[in-house]
Amino acid sequence: MSVKTCLMFGGGGMAGGWIGHWINHFRDRIKIIGLVDVNEEILEKQADLLGLGKDQLFTSTEEAVDKVRADFAGVATPPQFHASQTISALEAGMPVICEKPIAGTIEDARAMVDTANRTGLPVSIIQNYRYARDKQEVRRIVDEGRLGRLQHVIGRYACDYRKHCSWGKEWRHTMDYALLFEGSIHHMDMLRFLSAGDCETLTGFGWNPEWSSFKHLSSGMYLMKMNNGSHCFYEGNSTAAGIINCWHKEYYRLELEKGTVEIAGGKDITIHRMDKQVEQYEAPEIPWEGHNHLFDEFLNWIDGDKPADTRIQENIKSFAMILAAMDSGTDGAVRKIADYL
């Protein structure tokens, strides 16, 4: 495989994490030849690490796209900048791998999808939580029909962020819909993945308890009807005080025709069958987990392999669920996902 050159949008935060992954695991497959960030200190720091010259550092999207021709672009900036950066890169002939959520608005997300369709270039969205060994094994159980047909999926996310700034950054506590945009985007996508279906309708409520450290809604419960006959229920709680199912330890339960499957992060799969002893085993290992799976998959795609499972045309369906939850959360009315797409 040849080394792919990259124009990278973002240098700190999540983008810094991407760069770390690439240095540690993809040094022989990815070479950053241009870096864009509004923070010049971050640019200088990453330039030293990556061996970039001043002519390869940019604070402007337009200048970067005009001067750099890379094999692909990486976009790991705040969501409100995803559309302009992704569309600019696509128009310049560069495939894109972009951090979740797709964008800040459905209009921006649609524009990104339209540009990807028009240019015919690959665009992959990061949904790293799919690629853990327990989740992959559960999906195999569903696909192979080991426990018969699927009835419904229960998902639970619960973190104790009652203390201000305990969720990493202050802006997560002051922004609108932090639970949905920063948390549930992972979990709604996971419900699509585990159920092997796409959401048709969604209803539910969001709220903020008096003891919350959040300006806006920190908790919610949502019910979904999927297009394959199954149903999903999601509990999200960023002000949890007792039983915790925080990052990488979220709880999922699948009720199937011949048994129940439970996972809560890690390696263990637990299967319950009527009148039989509980079966517990370790899920098989997978070649790549999390972000690294998505980076590998994207590189293979632009090398001619099959499209990524989280390509933008598919992932917008997860993003639409978040927007439907925002709207339904105000009045509990049923929202049709098709109306957002």
* DSSP code string of 106-133: HHHHHHHHHHHHHHT--EEE--GGG-SH
Coil, helix or strand for 152? strand
Backbone torsions φ then ψ of 318, nearest 5 degrees:
-75, -40
Q: Are 34 and 70 in contact (CB under 8 A)?
A: yes
- Token output for 167: 């969720």
- The one-letter amino acid code at 36 reads V
**pLDDT, tens digit (0-9, with 9 covering 90-100), for 195-228:** 999 999 999 999 999 999 999 999 999 999 999 9
Q: What is the mean pLDDT of residues 98-105?
A: 94
Using the 8-state DSSP alphabet, how is residue 4 labeled? Answer: E
Q: What is the DSSP string of 205-222?
A: EEE--TT-S-SS--EEEE
Instruction: Report the alpha-carbon distance of residue 262 to residue 33 in Å, rounded.
Output: 44
- Token output for 137: 């094994």
Task: Name the CATH superfamily housing domain 4-121.
Answer: NAD(P)-binding Rossmann-like Domain (3.40.50.720)
The reply to whether omega before 101 is within 30° of 0 (cis) is yes
Q: Residues with Cβ < 8 Å from 277, sequence gap 6 or more?
A: none
**pLDDT, tens digit (0-9, with 9 covering 90-100), for 235-271:** 999 999 999 999 999 999 999 999 999 999 889 999 9
Q: How far is CA 265 from CA 3, 100, 185, 252, 262, in A?
A: 34, 21, 17, 9, 10
Q: What is the mean pLDDT of residues 321-327?
A: 95
In the predicted structure, residue 275 carries a pLDDT above the cut 90: no
Instruction: Report the alpha-carbon distance of residue 78 to residue 85 in Å, rounded.
Output: 11
Instruction: Report the alpha-carbon distance of residue 119 to residue 135 in Å, rounded.
Output: 33
Backbone torsions φ then ψ of 268, nearest 5 degrees:
-80, 135
Instruction: Report the alpha-carbon distance of residue 96 to residue 3 in Å, rounded.
Output: 16
Confidence (pLDDT) at 1: 66
Grade residue 2 by pLDDT with cuts at 50, 70 and 90.
confident
Asked whether the domain spanning 130-288+319-339 has the same topology as the one spanning 4-121, the reply is no
- CATH no. for 130-288+319-339: 3.30.360.10
Coil, helix or strand for 168? coil
Grade residue 83 by pLDDT with cuts at 50, 70 and 90.
very high
Confidence (pLDDT) at 169: 87
- Token output for 141: 């159980």
Q: What is the DSSP string of 142-191?
A: HHHTTT-SEEEEEEEEE-B--STT-SSSHHHHHSTTHIIIIIIHHHHHHH
**pLDDT, tens digit (0-9, with 9 covering 90-100), for 41-64:** 999 999 999 999 999 999 999 999
Q: What share of the chain is helix, strand, coil (3-state, %, to 5)?
A: 40, 25, 35
Confidence (pLDDT) at 92: 97
Grade residue 330 by pLDDT with cuts at 50, 70 and 90.
confident
- For the chain, the average pLDDT equals 95
Q: What is the mean pLDDT of residues 84-90?
A: 98
Q: What is the mean pLDDT of residues 299-317?
A: 96
Instruction: Report the alpha-carbon distance of residue 126 to residue 79 in Å, rounded.
Output: 12
Confidence (pLDDT) at 276: 87
Each domain of the chain, given as residue ranges in start order, spans 4-121, 130-288+319-339
Q: Are 294 and 132 in contact (CB under 8 A)?
A: no
